[in-house]
Amino acid sequence: MSLAELLTVAGASKSYNGVPALIDASLHLLSGEVHALMGENGAGKSTLIKLLAGVVTPDRMQVWVRGRAVSLSSARAAFDLGLRFIHQELNVIPQLSVAENIFLSQSYPRLAGVFVDWRKLNADARSVLHMLGVTHLDPRTLAARLSTGDQMLLKIASAFLGAERTNAAIYVMDEPTAALSSGETEMLFAVINSLRKQGCAILYVSHRIDELFKIADRVTVMRDGRTVATMPLAETSPEKLITLMTGRDLQQVYPTRENATPASPLLEVRNLSTHAAKAITFTLHAGEIIGIAGLSGSGRTELLRALMGADRIRAGEIRLSGKRLSRYSTRGAWRYGFAFVPEERRTQGLVVSRTVADNVTLPHLGAISRGGILLDSLRAQSLSETLGASVRLRARGPDQIVRQLSGGNQQKIVFARALAGSPAVLLLDEPTRGVDMGAKVDLYRLIRQASARGVGVIIASSDLPELIGLCDRIMILQNGRLVDTVQAAGLTEAGLLTLCYGAEMHSAAG
């Protein structure tokens, strides 16, 4: 492995409307390394990446690629210098095949100069995929049929393809695992390793600290627009990184659990079936936190959606505090006392064009209005302010437009809304996805506080340490079936992962 410096950035500064977003940041990427970039939301990571991509003009910045001073003045310039960007939003075109998507930014091989040479296109796509160690994807499959993880691999293959011709060497991956299951993440890591072996440098942005320790060689930590430290991961610890990022000591990410007293059954689910969930039976007790683990596509989200009245229930029964609930809509679910934090805050959770107060009160408008008809703006404002304070929301006020807030703060609004109606059952789907560590700790504290008040909580998450740290019991789903339920105490991440996979082998055998 050569340790040549591939990309060097020095003195990068950028301010928006006089507000500095990046102050004198520097970055050194070596050939053959995975370099983690960490920092809370708003620390300047995305600004730095935008400067590298040439889509934002810096106030000041010096860049060298392979020791040669260059200018990243446009997206084209960045591309020609060999930089590739893989974002969390996958711009895969679902109607096209894998091969077509891979070759999208290139010209397709031709026959007689006019017709697409499909045979060569598919063969080339296959060889690119093989070079990355991806053998399970057929180039002729429609991209729409791929899982999120496979779509991610497709985008990497597409970026890698350009690499052959333009000598690309630097990959910037922004939260690539945010939407991936554990299995898919492993696959991604294998691909990253094969890129590393070929001498590429990977700048890897993620909020999942445990993941960085698995994949990255060195880390650069950002705080308040500055790059505060760069060091090998082997010489640091998660605790030290958190301290560097937040500038404060975090005793523990997961709050300690008071001994749970045995409580009465709150939510009883019997043989619940929808299009994706199959005959699921479990009981949630008051004050209990149950986790749902499973590979992506295992039915985690669908189980929560069924309980929330968002997916049609085909069979089974749901009892809340002993009372059997007949078929209900999402509106009915909120009225019964379910509260929901959906998987995707931007597409399912928030109306980002509206204010904080509008979003917090949306499910509760009827309850805080005059006679169920007229708005009571004062009550809406004060409710939003009280809840905003309790979730430590950082906003100008209840009238601020949600679009202007950071991801972590947006997620806090979704939480504030869920907590607003004093719910009996909290249904949380990926509650901390794409949220920085400081906000995560706040959210964990809120979940624990709710549970201490007797609220039953169900958390579906692909973040295994989170499930282990937060839950009392963890249910393991596979293909829509509940295959196992384990106590979280004493469970290791590897142990839980094995259970998820074991479940897979088990169901494959059965």
Q: CB 270 → another protein: shortest distance, Å?
A: 24
Nearest alpha-carbon partner for 285 in 418, 419, 425, 415 = 425
Of 55 and 263, the one with the shorter C-beta distance to another protein is 55
Nearer to another protein by Cβ, of 262 and 372: the residue is 372
Spatial separation of the C-alpha atoms in residues 158 and 5, rounded to whole Å: 25
User: How near is the Cβ of 411 to another protein at its closest, in Å?
Assistant: 13
The helix (H) or strand (E) run that includes residue 276 is: none
Q: How far is the CB of 317 from another protein (least distance, A)?
A: 22
State the sign of the Cα–Cα–Cα–Cα dihedral 459, 460, 461, 464: positive
Task: Give Cα separations from 297 to 108, 279, 294, 409 (angstroms).
Answer: 33, 16, 8, 28
Which residue number, 216 or 414, has a Cβ lying nearer to another protein? 414
Q: Could you tell me the smallest distance in angstroms from the CB atom of residue 69 to another protein?
A: 31
Minimum CB–partner distance for residue 417 and another protein (Å): 7
Q: Please say which residue, 239 or 385, places its beta carbon nearer to another protein.
A: 385
- The sign of the torsion formed by the CA atoms of 135, 153, 437, 295 equals negative
Please state at what angle helix 148-166 crosses helix 182-197, rounded to 10 degrees: 10
Nearer to another protein by Cβ, of 225 and 363: the residue is 363
Q: How far apart are CA 441 and CA 251, in angstroms?
A: 11
- Shortest Cβ 359–another protein spacing (Å): 8
Minimum distance between the CB of residue 437 and another protein, rounded to whole angstroms? 16
Q: Return the H-helix or E-strand segment holding 286.
A: none
- Among residues 125 and 395, whose Cβ is nearest to another protein? 395
What whole-number distance in Å separates Cα of residue 175 and Cα of residue 172? 10
Helix/strand/coil (H/E/C) assignment for every residue in 315-354 = EEEEEECCEEECCCCHHHHHHHCEEEECCCHHHHHCCCCC
One-letter amino acid identity for 398? P
Classify residue 294 by its DSSP letter.
Answer: -
Q: How far is the CB of 382 from another protein (least distance, A)?
A: 11
Q: Give min distance, CB of 266 to another protein, in A.
A: 20
- H helix runs in 181-278, sequence order: 182-197, 209-215, 238-246
Q: Which is nearer to another protein, 60 or 346 (CB)?
A: 346
Smallest gap from residue 389 Cβ to another protein (A): 5
- CB-nearer residue toward another protein: 271 or 386: 386
Q: Are 301 and 484 in contact (CB under 8 A)?
A: no
> In sequence order, which residues have a C-beta less than 8 Å from that of residue 318 and are 6 or more positions away?
267, 268, 269, 270, 272, 307, 324, 325
Residues 451, 286 contacting (CB under 8 angstroms) = no
Which CB atom, from 167 or from 449, has the smaller least distance to another protein?
Answer: 449
Nearer to another protein, 132 or 356 (CB): 356
Binding site for another protein (CB under 8 A): 17-19, 308, 310, 329-331, 333-335, 340, 342, 347-354, 358, 361-363, 365-366, 369, 372-375, 384-385, 388-389, 392-398, 401, 403, 417
